[in-house]
């Protein structure tokens, strides 16, 4: 038998779509406060939002008649003539307040800014009380207590109080970033979590993202057709284990969109190892009729009319900004290095000696002792640097240590370069340039190299043979589980071909149907560049070290290798002097 559900059951079902956890309540109430034209919003939580959620604003406020309608389903002041295309507010469905009221105890206290008396309305588990007069200043206060008391089964799906509080604070920060002209505060059980004063957008971004983000970003400002993209994105060497530092907004609405997330992965695919994520604060401005914000009840997802264009704008503008950054690397790399030398973090502590100090040798003996430590001829130690080289970004190379690290002197410090990581990036950028121009230059092998593989790997390589040939790797079948390599890119000639083929086969296995051809080829080129770079353990001559540094300065993205690791660390002289108590 078919029957119509009761109004209370309908509201609880709607609440299940809109109100998942305390953070969902905070999001809906703060969005309402922003739509009400507030310049200051205060959020307070108790017990992670289970016991109490309170949002106060100084917005337009509501009259007694508006309060009566506000807790009814699909009652809204934000849709002009029921236009679902030209949406310019954060909320518009009219589901938030009745959904919250269906599963909690809700109290709304409001007074209109335009003048009039304050009124209050209460709703408990969907049961509405009459509107009554109250005492209140301009604006609105909404208090939600005993969340999910009407549906106690939902409580067991909530996380710990700390986790729920952290999620609610993240919601406030995301909304605050998109509305820098509004003052935001948030407390949890009396403890301040968010305190953001009204100000400029860049100051708000840095206040939310933290001090480290401020010095490790490049600016984005691009337009394609009718879509504008602005914001800040991190350098590839400044990354996170999770994507929780990715703040993306569409027309002032914080979103977690799959298209945008995929575009960010594509933009950093050349520069960041898998499993790491950039930190970004991006703002997309799209004509309302070209983006659908009515995709999900929680309004956290959007759908663009031209998704390919939006993705191309994000990928292209970020890659261009990173290219303009040149060889610049994250300043946290050098700071982390300095911190590793701090005396309090050192495992070594000098111990008092019991033996007698020998008599001090004469000057000639000391000089001879130092000469005994002089490196052998041709060990890669340069003469005194030229004055003009000291003023270059990466300085003048002075020596090589451990057959892998180049020590360079600048005018105000030193630079330590990982020769393998740096050369890997240089080779990769050359191969990409060749590939884009006319295909990668190849070198035929006098005798084809036969590489034994499993049948599946061999099949993957043969299926991609045309693309691999454009990348400079020419292969043929040699039996059911073997590959004959006939040509290799000239830039990596002389490397371990068998290992290279196995790594390329592994790369091809990780790709899926959504991976673009260019993205696949860039990853293959990256793998080949790794095999063709200067290996750790090779001793370089002074002129080779100098050539490597100068080429890094002229090559985009040379501040990080193909896997996102830094290629150099810069230590300022002032930092080094502080280590020795000289300043």
Kindly report, residue by residue over 524-535, the tens digit of the pLDDT: 777 777 766 666
Look at residue 190 and tell me whether its pLDDT is greater than 80.
Answer: yes
Lowest mean pLDDT of 250-259, 366-375, 470-479, 545-554, name the range: 366-375
Structure token digits, residue 30: 């703060």
In the chain, % helix, strand, coil (3-state, to 5) comes to 40, 25, 40
pLDDT for 377 = 46
pLDDT for 7 = 65
pLDDT for 9 = 67
Tokens 């390599």 belong to residue: 485
Give the integer Cα–Cα distance in Å for 432 and 526: 9
Compare 215 and 418 and report the one with higher pLDDT. 418
pLDDT tens, residue by residue, 243-256: 889 999 999 889 98
Look at residue 370 and tell me whether its pLDDT is greater than 50.
Answer: no
pLDDT tens, residue by residue, 275-313: 788 999 999 999 988 888 766 666 677 888 888 899 999
What average pLDDT does the segment 310-332 reach? 81
What average pLDDT does the segment 466-486 reach? 87
pLDDT for 111 = 94
φ/ψ of 72, rounded to 5, equals -90, 150
Look at residue 152 and tell me whether its pLDDT is greater than 60.
Answer: yes
pLDDT bucket at 69, cuts 50 / 70 / 90: confident
Please say whether the dihedral angle defined by the alpha carbons of residues 27, 249, 219 and 286, taken in this order, is positive or negative. negative
For 296, residues 6+ apart whose C-beta sits below 8 A from its C-beta are none
pLDDT tens, residue by residue, 497-553: 888 888 888 878 766 544 555 666 676 777 777 766 666 667 888 888 999 999 988
Compare 45 and 468 and report the one with higher pLDDT. 45
pLDDT for 349 = 43
444 and 488 Cβ atoms separated by less than 8 Å:
no
| 163 conformational bin, left if phi > 0, alpha if psi -120 to 50, beta if neither | alpha
Question: Which residue from 238, 552, 578, 539 is spatially nearest to 395, judged by alpha carbons?
Answer: 552
pLDDT for 153 = 82
| Number of other residues whose CB lies within 10 A of the CB of residue 354 | 5
DSSP 229-266: EEEEEE-TTSEESSSTTEEEEETTEE---HHHHHHHHH
Question: Which residue from 172, 568, 209, 562 is spatially nearest to 392, judged by alpha carbons?
Answer: 568
Q: What domains appear along the chain, each with residue ranges and CATH number?
A: 7-196 (3.30.565.10), 201-324 (3.30.230.10), 326-340+382-583 (3.30.1540.20)
pLDDT bucket at 375, cuts 50 / 70 / 90: very low
pLDDT bucket at 580, cuts 50 / 70 / 90: confident
pLDDT bucket at 365, cuts 50 / 70 / 90: very low
pLDDT bucket at 345, cuts 50 / 70 / 90: very low
pLDDT for 346 = 39
Give the integer Cα–Cα distance in Å for 171 and 188: 14
Please state, rounded to an integer, the average pLDDT across all residues of the chain.
Answer: 81
């Amino acid at each position: 038998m078919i029957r119509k559900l009761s109004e209370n059951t309908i509201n609880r079902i709607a609440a299940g779509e809109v109100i998942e956890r305390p953070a969902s309540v905070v999001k809906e109430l703060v969005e309402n406060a922003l739509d009400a034209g507030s310049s200051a919003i205060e959020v307070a939580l108790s017990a992670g939002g289970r016991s109490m959620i309170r949002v106060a604003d100084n917005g337009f406020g509501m009259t007694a008649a508006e309060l009566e309608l506000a807790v009814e389903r699909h009652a809204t002041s934000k849709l002009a003539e029921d236009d679902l295309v030209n949406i310019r507010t954060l909320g518009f469905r009219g589901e938030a307040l009745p959904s919250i009221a269906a599963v909690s105890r809700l109290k709304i206290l409001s007074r209109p800014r335009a003048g009039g008396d304050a009124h209050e309305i209460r709703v408990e588990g969907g049961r509405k009380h009459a509107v009554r007069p109250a005492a209140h200043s301009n604006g609105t206060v909404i208090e939600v207590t005993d969340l999910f008391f009407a549906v106690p089964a939902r409580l067991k799906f909530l996380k710990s109080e700390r986790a729920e509080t952290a999620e609610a604070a993240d919601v406030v920060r995301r909304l605050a970033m998109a509305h820098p002209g509004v003052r935001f505060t948030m407390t949890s059980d009396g403890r301040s979590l968010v305190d953001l004063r009204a100000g400029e957008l860049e100051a708000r971004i840095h206040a939310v993202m933290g001090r480290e983000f401020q010095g490790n970003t490049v600016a984005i400002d691009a337009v394609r057709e009718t879509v504008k993209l602005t914001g800040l994105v991190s350098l590839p060497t400044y990354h996170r284990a999770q994507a929780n530092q990715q703040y993306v907004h569409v027309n002032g609405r914080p979103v977690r969109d799959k298209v945008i997330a995929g575009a960010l992965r594509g933009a950093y695919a050349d520069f960041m190892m898998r499993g790491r994520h950039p930190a970004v604060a991006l703002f997309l401005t799209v004509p309302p009729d070209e983006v659908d914000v009515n995709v999900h009840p929680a309004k956290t997802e959007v759908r663009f009319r031209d998704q390919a264009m939006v993705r191309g704008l994000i990928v292209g503008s970020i890659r261009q900004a990173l290219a303009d950054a040149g060889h610049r690397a994250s300043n946290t790399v050098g700071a982390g290095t300095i911190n590793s030398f701090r005396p309090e973090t050192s495992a070594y502590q000098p111990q008092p000696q019991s033996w007698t100090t020998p008599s001090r040798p004469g000057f000639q003996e000391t000089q001879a002792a130092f000469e005994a430590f002089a490196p052998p001829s041709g060990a890669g130690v340069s003469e005194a640097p030229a004055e003009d080289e000291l003023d270059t970004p990466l300085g003048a190379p002075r020596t090589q240590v451990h057959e892998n690290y180049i020590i360079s002197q600048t005018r105000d410090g030193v630079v330590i370069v990982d020769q393998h990581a740096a050369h890997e990036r240089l080779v990769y950028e050359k191969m990409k340039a060749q590939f884009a121009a006319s295909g990668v230059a190849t070198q035929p092998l006098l005798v084809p190299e036969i590489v034994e593989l499993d049948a599946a790997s061999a099949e993957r390589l043969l299926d991609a043979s045309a693309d691999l040939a454009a990348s400079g790797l020419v292969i043929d079948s040699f039996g059911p589980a073997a590959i004959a390599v006939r040509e290799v890119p000239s830039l990596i000639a002389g490397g371990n071909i068998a290992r290279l083929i196995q790594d390329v086969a592994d790369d091809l296995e990780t790709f899926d149907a959504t991976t673009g051809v260019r993205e696949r080829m860039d990853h293959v080129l990256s793998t080949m560049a790794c095999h063709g770079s200067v290996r750790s353990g090779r001793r370089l001559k002074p002129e080779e070290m100098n050539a490597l540094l100068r080429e890094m300065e002229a090559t985009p993205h040379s501040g990080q290798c193909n896997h996102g690791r830094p290629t150099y660390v810069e230590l300022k002289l002032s930092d080094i002097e502080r280590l020795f108590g000289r300043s």
